[in-house]
Amino acid sequence: MNSQCEKCGIEHDGKHGSGRFCSSSCSRSYSSNIRRSEVNERVSKKLKGLINGKDPAHGDVEVTCKTCGSVRMKKWVKRNVKYCSRECSNADPSVKERIRSKRIQSIQSGNVGYGIKCEFMGIRCDSALEYAFLSWYTQAHPDSSIKRFKGSLSGEGITYVPDFIIDDKILVEVKYIPHYVGESLSKKWSTYVSTLDQKKKLLEASGMEYMWVTNKDIGQSFYRKCLKTIKYTTGR
C-alpha cells in the first residue's frame, strides 16, 4: 500500500521511518519548517514590543522632538525616535550634513543612483552627455589630460562635485539643458535647474579656471552620433 509524503506530496512505499515521509530530507525539512514558523512568530511579537501577545511591561513614554521641541507619547519600542516628522528630521543641520557627505562619497565612488554608466577611454561617465563631452573635447585637444574631479565645492547652501578636471587646473561641469520643459516635466527639472546658478557661483569662487559645457555647446548632431557608439554597462 502506497503512502503520501506529508512534505512533498508524492506517493511512496512507506518504508522510510514511520512511513509519513518519502525520505530523510523531507522528514527534516518538515520539522524545520514548523519550528521556523514558531520562531518567526516569537521574533515578530518581540519586535512589535509584545510579550506572549500581551502589552509589554513598559508603558508609553514622552518623547521630545529634537527640532521643534514638541512632546508626543510614543510606545516604548519607539522611545529613541528623535523627530516628530520627516520635515523636522530634514530641518536638522546635522542630518543634512550627514546626507550630503554620504551623497558626495557615493558620487565620487561612481554610485550616483540614477542615469547610465559607461566609460570613455577608461574615464567613468555618469551620463551620455558626459561621454559626448569627453569625445568632443579630446578630438579638439588630444594632448590634454582629463579625469574625474576628486573633491567637492561648498557654498551657496549646497555642496557638489564638479564632473571633470583638465590638466589639473580646469574644472568642468557638464549640464544638459532641455529645449522645452512642459508642465508634466517641470517638477522633475525644478531642483536640477534651481541649482545651476549656485554651481556656477561656486565654480567662479573656486579660484580655478572652469568650463560650463551644455548639450548646446557640444551640438545636437554630435551628441546623437555619440549615442550610437556608447557601450553602456548599467542603468540602460
Q: What is the pLDDT of residue 100?
A: 63
- My answer on whether 162 and 210 are in the same domain is yes
CA distance 128 to 144: 21
- My answer on whether 205 and 100 are in the same domain is yes
- My answer on whether 97 and 144 are in the same domain is yes
Query: Residues 48, 77: contact at Cβ < 8 Å?
Result: yes
Instruction: Flag whether pLDDT at 161 surpasses 90.
Output: no
- My answer on whether 125 and 159 are in the same domain is yes
Q: What is the pLDDT of residue 47?
A: 66
In this structure, is residue 129 part of a structural domain? Answer: yes
Q: Print the domain residue range for 42.
A: 10-47
Q: Characterise 4 by phi-psi region: left (phi > 0), alpha (psi -120 to 50), beta (else).
A: beta
- My answer on whether 97 and 87 are in the same domain is no
In this structure, is residue 3 part of a structural domain? Answer: no
Q: How far is CA 190 from CA 86, 178, 183, 193, in A?
A: 21, 12, 11, 5
Q: What is the pLDDT of residue 187?
A: 59
The phi, psi pair for 207, rounded to 5°, reads 80, 5
Confidence class for position 193, pLDDT limits 50, 70, 90: confident
- My answer on whether 132 and 202 are in the same domain is yes
Confidence class for position 189, pLDDT limits 50, 70, 90: low
Residue ranges of alpha helices (H) inside 23-151 are: 24-47, 86-91, 93-109, 128-140
- My answer on whether 113 and 212 are in the same domain is yes
Query: Residues 219, 133: contact at Cβ < 8 Å?
Result: no
| Short-list 190, 100, 116, 115, CA closest to 153 | 100
Query: Residues 232, 118: contact at Cβ < 8 Å?
Result: yes
- My answer on whether 187 and 212 are in the same domain is yes
Confidence class for position 145, pLDDT limits 50, 70, 90: very high
pLDDT, tens only, 33-44: 767 777 777 777
Output the domain CATH number for residue 203. Answer: 3.40.1350
In this structure, is residue 2 part of a structural domain? Answer: no
pLDDT, tens only, 22-71: 888 888 777 767 677 777 777 776 666 555 444 555 678 888 998 888 88
Confidence class for position 172, pLDDT limits 50, 70, 90: very high
What is the total count of domains within the chain?
Answer: 3
> Which residues, including other chains, have CB under 8 Å from residue 206's CB and lie 6 or more apart?
153, 171
- My answer on whether 142 and 218 are in the same domain is yes
Residue ranges of alpha helices (H) inside 110-182 are: 128-140
- Of 12-26, 96-110, 200-214, the one with minimum mean pLDDT is 96-110
Instruction: Flag whether pLDDT at 164 surpasses 90.
Output: yes
Rounded mean pLDDT, 147-155: 89
Query: Residues 44, 56: contact at Cβ < 8 Å?
Result: no
Q: What is the DSSP letter of 62?
A: E
- My answer on whether 150 and 187 are in the same domain is yes
- My answer on whether 66 and 132 are in the same domain is no
DSSP per-residue codes, 79-97: TT---SSHHHHHH-HHHHH
Q: Look-up: residue for cell 512568530?
A: 41
Q: Is 189 exposed, middle or buried (0-12, 13-18, 19+ CB in 10 A)?
A: middle
> Which residues, including other chains, have CB under 8 Å from residue 144's CB and lie 6 or more apart?
137, 138, 166, 167
Q: Characterise 148 by phi-psi region: left (phi > 0), alpha (psi -120 to 50), beta (else).
A: beta
In this structure, is residue 54 part of a structural domain? Answer: no
